[in-house]
């Protein structure tokens, strides 16, 4: 593994940026080893390579949120009181009459902060405040939890939608669906961009349903909380002070999310995943799959030159005293995961085979989970076709 990692993270691969020659060299190195171990390819045309189309997309949104409080209703347009992520999914209307205020919308057991403890929010719209979270969460790990609050509520707790402060909604896009022109966060800005500069990049279908994760302005929250047991001004003050927040249901409130976005693909780029299979050994389980994944790309290298001993606009974090080094080698992110997956492939291929099919996927950064799911869907479809074919063959033989 040390030998493999030494090459994967070497300067020769120039940081393995997506769409770079270095990433292609890494893919060739990985598939060469897989082939030498006799691992079965699962990519395009009988190879280990799966071509992935990365779409750069412009979004034009006419989405709205209608809030009904008691007998009064107001409609807020995207960019006027509320803001949707640029990738908001396919067109649809979603009505939610269970609206739960969850304080900071955060579960951080290590800090003994559990806003959702004892609360069921499945099928509800979750509202939370406090861009900076409560006091005592200054560790970088907790910062990550704050940015992932929308996804935690929808993906883990089963909420239908979330509404939070502006900085939280920017993190609400899905992997594979987030990304501005440089592949960063979804963003909520509505400033004009050049016609061919994408608002986000994705490898997913644009018409797939996505749980709404919007942000609201003071005007929106003031109306939303107009009949609440605690005034919005008081909640805003407490959140600003990072003090404790109450939790309660917003009685008599109904939210209607009207997702209406037109998407235009303005750029298509091609990259490659490396995918392989090890057949299962158990007669009962060998048609089921276990997926293993990692991303084998990294940040590439800095094109800028040093200015006053520092490098402008570096692609990643700079370790003190290493400004002159322009290559981000990515030994731990995720070179270590890459060679770990290679070691699994060799162990499965040369030792006792797993009971189930082991599906191995090395994908581009932030896309590994999506590609694993897509790979499993494709393999499941293939297995279903094989089962149907075998059944038809048995039927034909019985008839003859």
Quick one: what percent of the chain has pLDDT higher than 90?
74
For the chain, which domains are there?
2-54+268-399 (3.40.630), 63-259 (3.50.30.30)
CB atoms within 10 A of CB 226: 16
Q: Which residue has the tokens 């047991």?
A: 229
pLDDT tens across 259-310, in order? Answer: 999 999 999 999 999 999 999 999 999 989 999 999 999 999 999 999 988 9
Integer Cα distance of 231 and 223 in angstroms = 10
Cβ distance 388 to 369 under 8 Å?
no
User: Which pTM value belongs to this model?
Assistant: 0.78
pLDDT score at 140: 73
Cβ distance 323 to 309 under 8 Å?
yes
Q: Please state the rounded mean pLDDT for residues 234-240.
A: 97
pLDDT tens across 32-89, in order? Answer: 999 999 999 999 999 999 999 999 999 999 999 999 999 999 999 999 999 999 999 9
Is the per-residue pLDDT at 158 higher than 90? yes
Of 135, 132, 140, nearest in space to 164 by CA: 132
pLDDT score at 161: 98
225's torsion region: left (phi>0), alpha (psi -120 to 50) or beta?
alpha
Integer Cα distance of 297 and 276 in angstroms = 18
């Amino acid at each position: 593994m040390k030998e493999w990692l030494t090459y994967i993270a070497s300067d020769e691969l120039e940081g393995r940026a997506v769409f770079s020659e270095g990433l292609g060299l890494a893919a060739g190195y990985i598939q060469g080893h897989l082939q030498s171990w006799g691992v079965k390819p699962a990519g395009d045309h009988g190879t280990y390579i799966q071509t992935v189309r990365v779409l750069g997309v412009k979004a034009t949104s006419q989405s709205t949120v209608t809030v009904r409080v008691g007998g009064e209703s107001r409609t807020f347009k995207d960019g006027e009181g509320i803001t949707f992520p640029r990738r908001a999914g396919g067109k649809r209307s979603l009505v939610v009459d269970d609206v739960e205020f969850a304080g900071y919308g955060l579960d951080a057991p290590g800090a003994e902060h559990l806003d959702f403890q004892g609360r069921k929010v499945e099928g509800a719209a979750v509202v939370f405040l406090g861009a900076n979270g409560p006091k005592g969460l200054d560790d970088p790990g907790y910062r990550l939890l704050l940015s992932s609050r929308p996804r935690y509520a929808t993906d883990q707790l089963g909420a239908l939608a979330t509404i939070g402060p502006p900085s939280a909604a920017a993190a609400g896009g899905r992997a594979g669906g987030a990304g501005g022109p440089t592949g960063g966060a979804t963003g909520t800005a509505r400033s004009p961009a050049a016609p061919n500069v994408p608002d986000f990049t994705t490898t997913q279908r644009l018409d797939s349903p996505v749980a709404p994760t919007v942000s609201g302005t003071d005007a929106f929250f003031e109306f939303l909380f107009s009949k609440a047991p605690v005034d919005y001004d008081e909640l805003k003050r407490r959140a600003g002070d990072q003090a404790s927040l109450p939790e309660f249901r917003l009685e008599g409130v109904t939210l209607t999310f009207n997702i209406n976005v037109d998407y235009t693909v303005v750029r298509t780029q091609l990259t490659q995943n490396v995918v392989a299979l090890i057949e299962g050994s158990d007669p009962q389980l060998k048609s089921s799959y276990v997926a293993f994944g990692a991303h084998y790309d990294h940040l590439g290298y800095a094109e800028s030159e040093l200015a006053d001993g520092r490098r402008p606009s570096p692609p990643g974090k700079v370790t003190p005293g290493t400004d002159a080094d322009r290559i981000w080698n990515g030994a731990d992110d995720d070179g270590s995961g890459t060679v770990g997956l290679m070691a699994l492939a060799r162990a499965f291929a040369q030792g006792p085979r797993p009971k189930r099919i082991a599906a191995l996927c090395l994908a581009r950064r932030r896309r590994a989970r999506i590609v694993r799911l897509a790979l499993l869907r494709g393999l499941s479809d293939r297995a279903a076709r094989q089962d149907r074919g075998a059944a038809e063959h048995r039927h034909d033989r019985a008839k003859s």
